[in-house]
C-alpha cells in the first residue's frame, strides 16, 4: 500500500514557480493597449471637494484620461442604494470626503511613471470640515451594532464579589496588514458589458459577486483571475474602492487599466486591524476557580460602514466560568473601514483575556498555567455543547515541557542572564473551526492525470499542495499525477480563503469529488471489464493507482480504462458542506504559546529568546506548510507584541509612519528560534480529513504570552501594545 | 516624481561643473534621494551620478585612515583597517539600516542623508526644513523620535545616521572639493543645528562634493562600544544611540569620547561628560556621574520625555559595555 500523503512534509507544488519568478501575480500580467493608473488621494480628513482642476495633468505626456466623481461612468447599484444607510464608500459617487487618503481621482497614462507624475499635477480644492480620528476623544459617539449584542451568562459583574479580583484596561493600536505584495487590479472591459479582472483577492467568486451586483451584470460576463497572491492576511477579503475606481476608469477609457497602489496608500485604502480599548475584569475564589468575567470592548470603524469582529468571543467560552458578560461597541472615526487581520478580533480580545488571567494568577500566587488548567472548559460553556475535539491540556503539557516552564520563577524580576532580566510567559488561543460549502470538479485524463478545479485561493498557506495530498489519499494515486487548480472565477464555487477554513471546506469537496470520480470509474469497470462484472462500485478497491475487483484477482489503471473506452476524459463535480454535526458539537482549534524573553533593565529593550507554540488543529495535512503557517503567525504575533503600530497625527488625520521603515513589522533579528508542535489528532466530526483550521490560532493569544513574560522578567505590566522600550522604562514595577 | 536628466561624469572636475547647472544634485547610492524624489520632497532637474569617480579607496597614511566618499557602508564596516584601528566605526556602521541598504549606501551619502522626520516626508504637512516658514509639524505633533538637544521651535528633527555618530566621536575630518577648490571641515562642524535655517543640514558649500573622510590615529581600539536602542532589533532608526570610546591605561581613563545619535539635528558630542571621565577610574559610579552630566541640558517634547532617562541609561550601558569587552 502506498504511504499516506496527508501528514507528510510535501514540498509546495508551486514552490519552484514562486522562487524562480515563474508565478504570475496580478500585476505581472500584461496585455496589448494596457494603461497604467495612479490615484489622487485626499489630504483632508472630512469635507467636500470644491473643485478639481485637471488642466495641467491632462497636458502631461502620455496621459489618457482622469476620472473622478465629475465624469465617472454610472455605477447602477449606487443609484439603488438606500439613502441614509451605511452603503460603504461609493467611490466617485459624489464630492464627500470621509477620511484622509480617500481617492478623489484616478489618472491613467501610458506608463506608470507618467501616471504618477500627472497625478501630482491634479489640483484639488476642498471645503474642509472638522474631523475626528482620536478614539479616546470620541468615546461619546460609541454605539452598538446589532450584529454584536451584549452577552450574559449567569450574573453580570459577578467578578466584583469574588475573593480575588482583577480589572484593567488593555489597549491595542491600529495595525496594518502590510503584505509584501501591494494591492491593485487590472480591469479590462472586453465589451461594454463584459469585464475581465486580474485581482489580488482571497476569493475570486466574491469579487465576481460584488462586481456583478454593483454593475448589475450577469455572472458569466465577469471573469476574475487570481492564481497567486503575495500575502493577504485578511485585507484581500473584499473589494475596495480602489478596485472600483480602476474598473470605472477602464470603462470610461475603453482600454485595460492596471493599478498598483503605493505602500503609503496601503495604510488608508485596504483596511487594518482596528485600534481597541478593552476593560477586562475577572474574579476567582481563593483557590483560583473563576467566578466571573466581564469583558467590555470599544473599537473603531469608519463613518460609512460598521466593522465588527470577535473581540469578546473568546471570553465567553474559553474557561469554565459561571458568570460572563460582554459588551462590544464601535466608535466611528474619519478613517477608512477596518477589515479582518489575521486572528481577527480574537487576537485583540485574547490579549486582554490572557493578560488578565496572568495578572489574576499573580494575585492568587498561582502558576498561570495551573490557573488555566484548573479552569479548563471541558464542554463549551457558551453553547453548552461538547467540543468536537479538544486536546488543549495536552498542548499545555507539551508546550510547558519544551520551553522548560519549570525554570520559571513565580516571583518576577528574580532571574538574570548576562545582565538581562529573564522571564517566561504563556497564553492560550482559540478560533472557530469552520467548514463551508464548496464545489470541486475532478477530471481524469486518458493519460492518467487527475485535474481538480475549484475557485479557491492561495494567499500563502499552500492550498494546492494540501489538496493534492488529500486527493492522493482518497484516490490512491501518486501526487505527481494530481494537479489542483484554483484562483479562477470560471471554476466551481469555493468561498474566500479566510477564517482558517480552506482545508476544511475545499478539502472536503476534493474528497467528495474524488470519491464521485471513483464511483464513475468503478461503474465503468463493472460495465466493461469482465473481471469486474458483478461487483458494485462500493466494493471496488482503489490502491496504488489501480482499480481492483473485490477478489483482487485483476487490476486496471484508470487511464487504461479510459483508453479502452476511447474516452479522452471523465469529469465529475461534487459539492460538499458540513452536516448536522455542527449543531451537536462546538468546533474550535486551540493553540498555546510559551515564550522566554530577555529584558535589558537599563534600556527597556525586549528580546524574545525562545518560542514554543503548540497547535491543536486536528489532523495536520502537510507538516511542512503547517509549520511555516504557525511560524508566520508567530512572527505576526511578535509584531503585535513588540513593534507594530500605525500612528495618526490627529490634527491632520494622517498617518505619520506609513512606510516599511517606520511601521515596524518584525524582522529576522526579532525572530528567535520558534519550535512548533502539533497535537495532530483527528477531529472526528468536522470533515473527512479531521483537519481544523490553523492560520488564525498561530497568532491568537501570542501577544499576551510576551507581555506576561515581560512581567515575569521585570515586574512591569505593559497593557498597551506594542511593548516598546520607552513603555518598559516608563512602567513602574508592581510587585 | 518629475522628469529629470541624468549624467555620469568620470572626473571630479566634470562632476562639480555638471552639478552647477540645471538645479542639479549629486547621486551616489540613492538610498535616500530616490525616496525623497518619489515623494516630491526634493525636485531636481538633473542628477549627477558620481559612482564613476575615483573616490573608493581606503588607506592608512601616517596613522591617518583615509576613506573615499564612495566607499560602500558594507565594505567599510568589514574593512580590516577599520576593524583593527577604528572598531567603533565598524560597529556603528553595522548598526545602521539593513544589509541591503548598506550594500548601496556610500560614506558621503550617509553623511548627506536627510532626517527621517515624518513631517519632512509628507508634503501636505508643515515642515520648516522642507518648506521654510511653514512651521514645524513635529513640534505639536508626533515627536517620539525627536531631538532632546540643540533643537528649537523651528525644527526638532534628528540626524538619522549611525556612522556619523562614530565619526564625530573619532574626531574625523571631512574633505570636500568645490568650484573654489578643496577644503577640510572638522566632522563635528560638518552638520548643523537648526537655528534659523533648519532647511540646511550641514555646512557643505554650494556645488561642493565630499571626497573623503579622514580619521586621525587614536588609542580607541579596545574599549569601545556602539549602543543603539531601537524599536526593533534591526532596520530601525535609533531612539537613542551612544558611541563610547575610552583609552584606559593604568586603571585610569586617559581619554574619553562620547557621542550620541537620535537626540539632535547633528551627531551630538558630549564634551562635558568626556571631561568628567578623563583622569577617572572606569567605575560604574563615574559612568553614572558622566551620564547625568551629559543629559542635564535635555529638553523634551510631548512624546519623547522618555529619552532623557533612556539617554542617561544608555550612556552608562555603553560605557560599561566598552569596559567589559
Tens digits of per-residue pLDDT, A549-593? 999 999 999 999 999 999 999 999 999 998 889 999 999 999 999
Summarised one tens digit per residue, pLDDT across range A229-266 is 999 999 999 999 999 999 999 999 999 999 999 999 99
b/e per residue A520-548 (b: at least 16 CB within 10 A): bbbebbbeebebbeebebeebebeebebb
**What are the chain B neighbours of A600 within 8 Å (beta carbons)?**
317
CA atoms within 13 A on the CB side of A347: 31
Find the mean pLDDT for residues B228-235: 97
> Which of A117, A656, A730 comes nearest B118 by C-beta?
A656
Percent of the residues in chain A that have a pLDDT greater than 90, as a whole number: 96
Q: Is A730 on the interface with B (CB under 8 A)?
A: yes
CB-count burial class (<10 Å; 0-12, 13-18, 19+) for A614? buried
Q: Which of A59, A605, A640 is the best substitution to test chain B (most B C-beta atoms within 10 A)?
A: A605
pLDDT range class, residue A194, cuts 50, 70, 90: very high
CA–CA separation, B259 and B159 (whole Å): 13
- Cα separation, A306 vs A301, in Å, equals 6
What is the C-alpha to C-alpha distance for residues B50 and B209, in angstroms, rounded to an integer? 10
User: How large is the average pLDDT for residues A348-371?
Assistant: 98
* Contact residues, chain B, for A638 at CB < 8 Å: none
The fold adopted by the segment(s) B223-323 is: Enolase-like; domain 1 (3.30.390)
- For residue A545, the model assigns a pLDDT of 84
How close is the nearest chain B Cα to the Cα of A114, in Å?
9
- Give how far A661 is from chain B: nearest CA, Å: 7
CA–centroid distance for A195 within its chain: 28
Instruction: Tell me, yes or no, if B124 comes closer than 8 A to chain A by beta carbon.
Output: yes
Residues of B in contact with A265 (CB under 8 A): none
Class of domain B5-51: alpha beta
Strands lying side by side in the sheet with A416-417: A416-417, A420-432, A588-599, A606-616, A674-678
Question: How close is the nearest chain B Cα to the Cα of A666, in Å?
Answer: 7
Mean pLDDT of B220-236: 97
| Strand-pair partners of A328 | A297
Alpha helices in A159-234 (DSSP H): 204-215
DSSP string covering A29-70, please?
---TT-EEEEEEE-SSSSEEEEEEE-HHHHHSTTEEEEEETT
Phi and psi angles of residue B7, each rounded to the nearest 5 degrees, phi first: -125, 155
pLDDT for A492-534, tens place per residue?
999 999 999 999 999 999 999 999 999 999 999 999 999 999 9
Pick from B36, B37, B118 the residue to mutate for testing the A interface (most A CBs within 10 Å). Answer: B118
Instruction: Indicate left, alpha or beta for A566 from its phi (over 0: left) and psi (-120 to 50: alpha).
Output: left
Residue A680: pLDDT band by 50, 70, 90 thresholds? very high
Give yes or no for A451 touching B (CB within 8 A).
no
Query: Is A609 an interface residue toward B (CB < 8 Å)?
Result: no
Quote the CA–CA distance of A732 and A699 in Å, as a whole number: 28
Give chain B positions within 8 Å (CB) of A651: 140-141
Nearest CA of chain B to the CA of A110: how many Å? 15
Question: Is-contact A405 A424, C-beta < 8 A?
Answer: yes
A670 to chain B, minimum CA–CA distance in Å?
A: 5
Chain A nearest-CA distance from B142, in A, is 6
Choose the mutation target among B233, B263, B310 for the interface with A, i.e. most A CBs under 10 Å: B233
Mean pLDDT over B141-156 rounds to 98
Residue A81 confidence (pLDDT): 77
Q: Find residues 697-726 of chain A whose CB sits inside 8 Å of chain B.
A: 722, 724-726
DSSP state of A306: -
CA–CA distance, B173 with A587 (Å, rounded to integer): 69
This complex has an ipTM of: 0.97
Copy the grid coordinates of residue A310: 470577535
Residue A335 pLDDT > 80, yes or no? yes
**pLDDT tens-place string over residues B54-65:** 999 999 999 999
Task: List strands edge to edge, sheet with B5-7.
Answer: B5-7, B46-49, B24-27
Q: Is A111 on the interface with B (CB under 8 A)?
A: no
Residues 6+ apart with CB under 8 A from B156: B117, B136, B138, B139, B143, B146, B147, B194, B301
Determine the pLDDT at residue A717: 98
B229 touches chain A (CB under 8 A): yes
Q: Are B212 and B118 in contact (CB under 8 A)?
A: no
Cβ <8 Å between B232 and A725? no
Question: Is B119 in Cβ contact with A656 (below 8 Å)?
Answer: yes
Q: Do A725 and B124 touch (CB under 8 A)?
A: no
Contact B310 A649 (CB under 8 A): no
Would you please indicate which residues of A are annotated as catalytic (active-site) residues? 696
* Domains present along chain A, CATH in parentheses: 15-22+436-577 (3.30.365.10), 31-130+181-230+236-267 (3.90.1170.50), 276-434+583-730 (3.30.365.10)
What does residue B187 show for φ and ψ, rounded to 5 degrees? Answer: -55, -40
DSSP state of B324: -
Q: Which residue of B has its CA nearest to A101?
A: B124
Inter-chain contacts counted by CB atoms under 8 A, chains A and B: 83
Q: How far apart are CA A164 and CA A211, in angstroms?
A: 55
Give Cα separations from A442 to A490, A525, A691 (angstroms).
14, 18, 21
Of A120, A602, A670, which is closest to B233 when you measure between CB atoms? A670
Q: How close does chain B come to A612, measured CA to CA in Å?
A: 20
Per-residue model confidence (pLDDT) at position B3: 86
Burial of B262 (0-12, 13-18, 19+ CB in 10 A): buried
Q: Which helix (H) or strand (E) holds B315?
A: helix B306-323
Chain A closest-CA separation from residue B97 CA (Å):
9
Is B5-51's fold the same as B223-323's?
Answer: no
- CB-nearest to B2 from A117, A605, A647 is A117
Answer whether residue A709 shows pLDDT above 90.
Answer: yes
Q: How far apart are the first and last CA of chain B?
A: 48
Per-residue burial over A678-712, b = 16 or more CB atoms within 10 Å of its CB, e = otherwise = bbbbbbebbbbbbbbbbbbbbbbbbbbbbbbbbbb
Asked if B125's CB is within 8 angstroms of A605's CB, the reply is: no
Extents of the domains making up chain B: 5-51, 223-323
A532-543 pLDDT, tens digit each = 999 999 899 988
A83, pLDDT greater than 80: no
Contact between chains at B306 and A729 (C-beta distance less than 8 A): yes
Distance from the Cα of residue A39 to its chain's centroid: 26
Tell whether A265 lies on the interface with B, counting CB pairs under 8 A.
no
Three-class DSSP labels, A90-144 = CCCCCCEECCCCCEEEEEEECCHHHHHHHHCCCEEEEEECCCCCCCHHHHHHCEC
pLDDT score recorded for residue A544: 84
DSSP class per residue in A395-463: HHHHHHHHHTGGG--SSTT--EETTEEEEEEEEEEEEE-----EEEEEEEETTS-EEEE-----SSS-H
- The gap between the terminal CA atoms of chain A, to the nearest Å, is 61
Q: What share of chain B is helix, strand, coil (3-state, %, to 5)?
A: 30, 25, 45
Q: Is the peptide bond before A722 cis (omega within 30 degrees of 0)?
A: yes
Instruction: Select the residue of B1, B234, B316 nearest A602 (Cβ to Cβ).
Output: B316
pLDDT attached to residue B22: 87
Q: Given CB atoms, is B231 within the 8 Å cutoff of chain A?
A: yes
Strand-pairing partners, residue A298, are A277, A329
pLDDT of residue A2: 67
Whether A465 contacts A618, CB under 8 Å? no
Q: Which residues of B touch A666 (CB under 8 A)?
A: 232
B260: Cα within 13 Å, side-chain hemisphere: 32
**Contact flag B141-A668 (C-beta cutoff 8 Å):** no
Between chains, do B125 and A725 touch, taking CB under 8 Å as contact? no
- Which residues in chain B (125-154) have CB-CB distances under 8 A to chain A? 125, 137, 140-142, 144
Q: Give the tens place of pLDDT for each residue, A345-354.
A: 999 999 999 9
Q: Which residue of A has its CA nearest to B309?
A: A729
Q: Taking a contact as any Cβ pair under 8 Å apart, which residues of chain B between 204 and 223 contact chain A?
A: none
Share of chain A above pLDDT 70, in %: 100
Q: What is the pLDDT of residue B286?
A: 98
Rounded to a whole number of angstroms, the distance from the CA of A218 to the nearest CA of chain B is: 41
Name the one residue in this structure whose C-alpha cell is 491613467: A108
Q: Is A117 on the interface with B (CB under 8 A)?
A: yes
Residues B296-305 pLDDT 10s: 999 999 999 9
Residues of A in contact with B141 (CB under 8 A): 649, 651, 656
Query: Is the pLDDT score of A1 beyond 80?
Result: no
What is the overall mean pLDDT for chain B?
97
| B325 has a pLDDT exceeding 80 | no
For residue A638, give the chain B residue with the closest CA.
B232
**pLDDT higher than threshold 80 for residue A457:** yes
Would an 8 Å CB–CB cutoff place A123 in contact with chain B?
no
Q: What is the pLDDT of residue A682?
A: 97
pLDDT attached to residue B100: 96
Contact yes or no for A699/A177 (Cβ under 8 A): no
Could you read off the pLDDT of B124-136 as tens digits, one per residue? 999 999 999 999 9
Picking from A45, A661, A665 by the largest number of B CB atoms within 10 A of its own CB, the best residue to mutate is A661
| Helices and strands, number each (H, E), in chain B | 13, 12
pLDDT in the model for residue B209: 98
What average pLDDT score do residues A717-732 get?
98
Chain B residues inside the 8 Å CB shell of A722: 231
**Would the CB atoms of B137 and A649 count as touching at under 8 Å?**
yes
Amino acid at each position: 500500500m502506498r504511504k499516506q500523503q496527508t501528514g507528510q512534509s510535501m514540498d509546495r507544488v508551486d514552490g519552484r514557480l514562486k522562487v524562480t519568478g515563474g508565478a504570475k501575480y496580478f500585476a505581472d500580467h500584461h496585455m496589448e493597449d494596457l494603461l497604467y493608473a495612479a490615484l489622487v488621494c485626499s489630504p483632508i480628513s472630512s469635507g467636500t471637494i470644491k473643485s478639481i482642476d485637471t488642466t495641467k495633468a491632462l497636458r502631461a505626456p502620455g496621459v489618457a484620461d482622469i476620472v473622478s466623481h465629475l465624469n465617472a461612468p454610472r455605477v447602477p447599484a449606487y443609484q439603488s442604494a438606500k439613502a441614509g444607510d451605511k452603503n460603504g464608500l461609493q467611490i466617485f459617487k459624489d464630492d464627500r470626503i470621509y477620511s484622509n487618503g480617500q481617492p478623489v481621482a484616478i489618472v491613467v497614462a501610458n506608463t506608470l511613471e507618467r501616471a504618477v507624475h500627472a497625478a501630482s499635477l491634479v489640483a484639488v480644492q476642498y471645503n474642509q470640515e472638522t474631523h475626528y480620528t482620536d478614539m479616546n476623544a470620541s468615546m461619546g459617539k460609541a454605539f452598538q451594532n446589532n450584529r454584536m449584542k451584549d452577552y450574559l451568562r449567569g450574573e453580570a459583574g459577578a467578578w466584583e464579589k469574588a475573593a480575588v479580583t482583577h480589572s484593567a484596561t488593555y489597549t491595542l493600536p491600529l495595525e496594518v496588514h502590510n503584505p509584501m505584495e501591494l494591492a491593485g487590479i487590472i480591469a479590462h472591459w472586453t465589451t461594454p458589458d463584459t469585464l475581465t479582472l486580474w485581482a489580488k483577492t482571497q476569493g475570486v467568486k466574491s469579487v465576481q459577486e460584488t462586481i456583478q451586483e454593483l454593475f448589475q451584470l450577469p455572472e458569466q460576463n465577469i471573469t476574475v483571475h487570481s492564481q497567486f497572491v503575495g500575502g493577504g492576511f485578511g485585507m484581500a477579503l473584499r473589494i475596495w474602492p480602489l478596485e472600483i475606481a480602476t474598473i470605472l476608469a477602464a470603462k470610461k477609457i475603453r482600454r485595460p487599466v492596471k493599478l498598483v497602489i503605493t505602500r503609503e496608500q496601503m495604510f488608508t485604502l485596504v483596511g487594518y486591524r482596528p485600534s481597541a480599548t478593552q476593560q477586562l475584569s475577572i474574579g476567582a475564589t481563593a483557590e483560583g476557580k473563576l467566578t466571573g468575567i466581564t469583558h467590555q470592548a470599544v473599537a473603531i470603524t469608519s463613518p460609512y460602514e460598521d466593522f465588527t469582529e470577535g473581540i469578546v468571543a473568546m471570553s465567553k467560552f474559553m474557561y469554565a466560568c459561571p458568570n460572563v458578560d460582554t459588551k462590544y461597541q464601535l466608535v466611528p472615526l474619519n478613517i477608512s473601514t477596518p477589515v479582518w487581520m489575521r486572528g481577527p478580533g480574537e487576537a485583540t480580545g485574547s490579549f486582554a483575556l490572557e493578560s488578565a488571567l496572568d495578572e489574576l494568577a499573580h494575585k492568587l500566587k498561582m502558576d498561570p498555567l495551573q490557573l488555566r488548567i484548573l479552569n479548563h472548559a471541558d464542554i463549551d460553556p457558551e453553547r453548552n455543547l461538547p467540543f468536537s475535539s479538544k486536546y488543549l491540556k495536552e498542548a499545555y503539557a507539551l508546550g510547558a515541557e519544551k520551553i522548560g516552564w519549570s525554570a520559571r520563577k513565580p516571583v518576577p524580576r528574580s532571574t538574570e542572564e548576562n545582565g538581562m532580566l529573564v522571564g517566561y510567559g504563556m497564553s492560550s488561543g482559540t478560533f472557530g473551526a469552520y467548514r463551508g460549502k464548496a464545489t470541486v470538479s475532478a477530471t481524469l485524463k486518458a493519460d492518467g492525470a487527475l485535474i481538480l478545479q475549484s475557485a479557491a485561493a492561495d494567499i500563502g498557506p499552500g492550498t494546492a499542495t494540501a489538496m493534492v495530498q488529500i486527493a492522493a489519499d482518497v484516490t490512491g494515486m501518486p501526487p505527481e499525477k494530481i494537479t489542483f487548480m484554483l484562483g479562477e472565477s470560471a471554476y466551481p464555487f469555493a468561498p474566500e480563503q479566510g477564517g482558517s477554513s480552506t482545508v476544511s471546506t475545499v478539502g472536503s469537496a476534493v474528497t467528495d469529488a474524488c470519491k464521485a470520480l471513483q464511483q464513475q470509474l468503478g461503474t465503468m469497470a463493472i460495465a466493461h471489464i469482465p473481471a469486474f462484472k458483478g461487483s458494485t462500485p462500493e466494493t471496488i478497491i482503489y490502491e496504488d493507482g489501480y482499480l481492483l475487483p473485490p477478489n483482487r484477482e485483476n487490476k486496471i489503471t484508470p487511464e487504461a480504462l479510459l483508453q479502452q473506452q476511447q474516452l479522452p476524459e471523465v469529469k465529475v463535480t461534487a459539492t460538499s458542506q458540513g452536516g448536522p454535526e455542527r449543531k451537536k458539537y462546538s468546533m474550535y482549534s486551540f493553540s498555546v504559546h510559551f515564550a522566554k524573553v530577555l529584558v535589558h533593565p537599563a534600556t527597556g529593550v525586549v528580546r524574545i529568546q525562545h518560542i514554543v507554540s503548540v497547535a491543536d488543529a486536528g489532523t495536520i495535512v502537510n507538516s511542512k506548510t503547517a509549520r511555516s503557517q504557525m511560524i508566520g503567525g508567530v512572527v505576526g504575533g511578535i509584531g503585535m507584541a513588540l513593534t507594530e503600530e500605525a500612528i495618526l497625527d490627529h490634527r491632520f488625520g494622517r498617518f505619520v509612519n506609513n512606510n516599511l521603515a517606520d511601521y515596524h513589522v518584525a524582522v529576522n533579528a526579532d525572530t528567535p528560534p520558534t519550535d512548533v508542535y502539533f497535537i495532530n489528532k483527528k477531529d472526528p466530526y468536522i470533515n473527512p480529513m479531521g483537519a481544523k483550521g490553523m492560520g488564525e490560532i498561530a497568532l491568537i493569544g501570542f501577544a499576551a504570552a510576551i507581555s506576561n513574560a515581560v512581567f515575569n522578567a521585570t515586574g512591569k505590566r505593559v497593557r498597551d501594545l506594542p511593548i516598546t522600550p520607552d513603555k518598559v522604562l516608563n512602567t513602574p514595577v508592581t510587585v | 516624481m518629475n522628469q529629470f536628466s541624468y549624467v555620469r561624469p568620470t572626473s571630479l572636475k566634470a562632476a562639480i561643473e555638471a552639478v552647477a547647472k540645471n538645479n542639479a544634485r549629486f547621486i551616489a547610492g540613492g538610498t535616500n534621494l530616490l525616496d525623497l524624489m518619489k515623494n516630491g520632497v526634493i525636485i531636481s532637474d538633473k542628477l549627477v551620478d558620481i559612482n564613476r569617480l575615483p573616490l573608493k579607496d581606503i588607506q592608512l597614511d601616517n596613522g591617518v585612515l583615509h576613506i573615499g566618499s564612495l566607499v560602500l557602508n558594507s565594505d567599510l564596516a568589514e574593512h580590516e583597517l577599520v576593524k583593527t584601528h577604528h572598531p567603533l566605526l565598524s560597529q556603528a556602521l553595522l548598526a545602521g539600516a539593513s544589509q541591503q541598504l548598506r550594500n548601496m549606501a556610500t560614506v558621503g551619502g550617509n553623511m548627506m542623508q536627510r532626517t527621517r522626520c515624518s513631517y519632512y516626508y509628507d508634503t501636505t504637512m508643515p515642515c520648516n526644513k522642507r518648506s521654510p516658514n511653514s512651521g514645524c509639524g513635529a513640534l505639536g505633533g508626533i515627536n517620539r523620535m525627536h531631538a532632546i538637544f540643540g533643537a528649537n521651535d523651528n525644527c526638532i528633527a534628528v540626524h538619522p545616521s549611525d556612522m556619523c555618530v562614530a565619526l564625530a566621536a573619532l574626531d574625523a575630518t571631512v574633505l570636500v572639493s568645490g568650484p573654489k577648490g578643496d577644503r577640510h571641515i572638522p566632522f563635528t562642524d560638518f552638520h548643523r543645528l537648526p537655528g534659523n535655517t533648519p532647511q540646511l543640514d550641514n555646512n557643505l558649500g554650494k556645488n561642493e562634493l565630499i571626497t573623503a573622510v579622514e580619521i586621525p590615529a587614536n588609542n580607541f581600539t579596545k574599549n569601545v562600544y556602539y549602543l543603539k536602542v531601537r524599536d526593533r532589533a534591526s532596520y530601525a532608526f535609533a531612539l537613542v544611540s551612544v558611541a563610547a570610546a575610552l583609552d584606559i591605561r593604568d586603571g585610569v581613563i586617559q581619554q574619553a569620547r562620547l557621542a550620541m545619535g537620535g537626540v539632535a539635528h547633528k551627531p551630538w558630542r558630549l564634551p562635558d561628560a568626556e571631561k568628567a571621565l578623563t583622569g577617572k577610574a572606569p567605575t560604574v559610579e563615574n559612568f553614572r556621574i558622566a551620564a547625568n552630566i551629559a543629559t542635564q541640558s535635555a529638553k523634551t517634547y510631548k512624546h519623547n520625555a522618555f529619552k532623557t532617562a533612556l539617554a542617561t541609561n544608555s550612556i552608562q550601558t555603553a560605557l560599561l559595555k566598552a569596559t567589559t569587552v
